[in-house]
């Protein structure tokens, strides 16, 4: 199923899928929604980042919360156009969100520093 078919697929209310190894993720996406799966995947990506950096403190919890917020923004504005442009299957959404959640937390300080430099008039 492609990203453009999601609305048609949800409106038609498909019969329950029989779960097997090939369609568990698709059934989860249809049950709780693609955006919810993407937000959860971004949160898991943020948690993976915290665990790989061994930051077991409030800073780690803040990073996971930021990953969930970044995942929500990505699920709303960035992932659907990416999937439509590259004609990706709906199953790619959570994978893209995981990468955004994992790497987004690492990129936020860099982007913030860059934005502050632009606002102050430098490069």
pLDDT in tens, 10-25: 444 455 556 666 677 7
Alpha helix positions (H), 1-123? 6-11, 24-32, 34-53, 58-73, 79-85, 92-119
Domain ranges of the chain: 3-119
- The CB-side HSE value for 13 (13 A sphere, CA atoms) comes to 0
Nearest-10 crossing angle of helices 58-73, 34-53: 150
Closest CA to 9 of 19, 1, 18: 1
Taking only the tens place, the pLDDT of each residue in 70-99 is: 888 888 888 888 888 998 888 888 888 888
Closest CA to 96 of 81, 109, 111: 81
Query: Does the pTM of the predicted model rise above 0.75?
Result: no
């Amino acid at each position: 199923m492609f990203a453009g078919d999601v609305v048609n697929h949800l409106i038609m209310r498909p019969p329950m899928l029989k779960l097997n190894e090939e369609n568990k993720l698709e059934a989860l996406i249809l049950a709780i929604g693609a955006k919810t799966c993407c937000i959860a995947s971004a949160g898991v990506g943020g948690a993976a980042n915290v665990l790989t950096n061994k930051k077991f403190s409030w800073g780690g919890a803040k990073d996971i919360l930021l990953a969930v917020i970044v995942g929500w923004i990505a699920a709303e504005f960035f992932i659907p156009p990416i999937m439509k442009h590259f004609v990706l299957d709906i199953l790619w959404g959570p994978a893209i969100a995981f990468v955004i959640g994992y790497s987004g937390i690492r990129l936020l300080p860099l982007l913030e520093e860059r934005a502050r430099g632009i606002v102050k008039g430098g490069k």
